[in-house]
Amino acid sequence: MTKRLRLIVLLGLAIIFCLTMVFLAINSFSASPWQDWQTKYFQAQIEELQRTMSIVQGEEQVKKLEQEIKAWQDKKPALQVIRLSNGRIERCTTCHLGIEEISAAHPSDSIGCTVCHGGNALSVDEQTAHEGMYGGGHPGQLEVARLSCGGNSEVGQCHSGNRQEADNQVDLLTTALMASKGGELSMTRYMHGLDIPPRVLLDPGETAADFPAPFNQRGEEPKFQQNCLAVCHLTGGELLGQEVQANGCESCHVLSNPQHTYEGKDVTIPRSKSGYGMSHSLTVQIPYTQCNQCHNQGDYKVDTMDFIPRSDLDRVKSSPPPDKESLETRWQNVYSPGLVFTKCEVNLDCVDCHTRQETMGDGEMYSSEWKALKIQCRDCHGSTVSKPIEWEITDKSDMAWVEARINPAFPSLEMGDVILKTAKGEELAYVRQEDGKWFSYRKTNGEKYLIPQVIDSQCRQDPDKQSSDDCHKCHDVSKDKPSSGGE
Ligand code: HEC
Ligand code: HEC
Ligand code: HEC
Ligand code: HEC
Ligand code: HEC
Ligand code: HEC
Ligand code: HEC
In a domain, 8, yes or no: no
209 and 353 part of one domain: yes
Q: Of the residues 357, 389, 422, which one is the last residue of a structural domain? A: 357
Q: CA 3 to CA 1: how far, in whole Å?
A: 7
Domain of residue 392, residue span? 366-485
378 and 237 part of one domain: no
Tell me which long-range contacts 403-409 makes (C-beta under 8 A, separation of at least 24): 403/356, 403/427, 403/429, 404/429, 404/430, 406/105, 406/284, 407/284, 407/285, 407/443, 408/285, 409/285, 409/441, 409/442, 409/443, 409/444, 409/445, 409/446
- For ligand 7, atom 34, the nearest C-alpha belongs to 471
Q: CA 77 to CA 31: how far, in whole Å?
A: 10
Q: CA 208 to CA 180: how far, in whole Å?
A: 6
CA 483 from chain centre, in angstroms, equals 31
Q: CA 114 to CA 129: how far, in whole Å?
A: 10
In a domain, 88, yes or no: no
Give how far Cα 151 sits from Cα of 134, 159, 188, 305, 357, Å.
12, 7, 36, 39, 21
- Residue 63: phi, psi to the nearest 5? -60, -45
In a domain, 224, yes or no: yes
pLDDT tens for each residue of 75-97 = 999 999 999 988 999 999 999 99
In a domain, 150, yes or no: no
300 and 398 part of one domain: no
309 and 383 part of one domain: no
Q: Is the CB of 113 under 6 A from ligand 1?
A: yes
**How many other C-beta atoms lie within 10 A of the C-beta of residue 296?**
19
pTM for the whole structure: 0.93
Point out the ligand 4 atom lying closest to the alpha carbon of residue 178.
1
- For ligand 5, atom 23, the nearest C-alpha belongs to 369
Whether cis (ω within 30° of 0) applies to the bond prior to 107 is no
pLDDT of residue 18: 53
- For ligand 2, atom 17, the nearest C-alpha belongs to 276
Q: Of the residues 357, 392, 408, which one is the last residue of a structural domain? A: 357
Query: Which DSSP string do the residues of 449-469 spell out, in sequence order?
Result: EE---GGGS-----TT--SHH
- For ligand 7, atom 22, the nearest C-alpha belongs to 454
396 and 456 part of one domain: yes
- For ligand 1, atom 1, the nearest C-alpha belongs to 126
- Residue 313: phi, psi to the nearest 5? -60, -40
Q: Is the CB of 252 under 6 A from ligand 5?
A: no
Ligand 4 pocket residues where CB is under 6 Å: 145, 149, 159, 169-170, 173, 178, 248-249, 251-253, 284, 286, 351, 356, 359-360, 403, 406-407, 443
352 and 216 part of one domain: yes
278 and 386 part of one domain: no
pLDDT of residue 484: 40
In a domain, 47, yes or no: no
446 and 379 part of one domain: yes
Point out the ligand 2 atom lying closest to the alpha carbon of residue 105.
1
Query: Which amino acid appears at position 261 of this protein?
Result: T
Number of domains observed in the structure of the chain: 2
pLDDT of residue 26: 46
pLDDT tens for each residue of 209-262 = 888 888 988 888 888 888 888 777 665 555 554 555 668 899 999 999 988 999
352 and 376 part of one domain: no
Tell me which H or E stretch contains 346: helix 343-347
The ligand whose atoms approach the alpha carbon of 330 most closely is: 5
In a domain, 113, yes or no: no
pLDDT of residue 31: 43
In a domain, 154, yes or no: no
**How many other C-beta atoms lie within 10 A of the C-beta of residue 410?**
20
415 and 295 part of one domain: no
In a domain, 272, yes or no: yes
Tell me which residues of the chain have a pLDDT lower than 70: 1-3, 5, 7-9, 12-32, 153-155, 233-246, 479-487
309 and 371 part of one domain: no
Q: Of the residues 329, 357, 385, which one is the last residue of a structural domain? A: 357
pLDDT of residue 235: 59
pLDDT of residue 485: 39
283 and 432 part of one domain: no
Residue 103 CB burial class (10 angstroms; 0-12, 13-18, ≥19): middle
468, 380 in Cβ contact below 8 A? no
Max CA distance (Å), the chain: 115
pLDDT tens for each residue of 466-475 = 999 999 999 9
- For ligand 2, atom 21, the nearest C-alpha belongs to 280
pLDDT of residue 3: 66
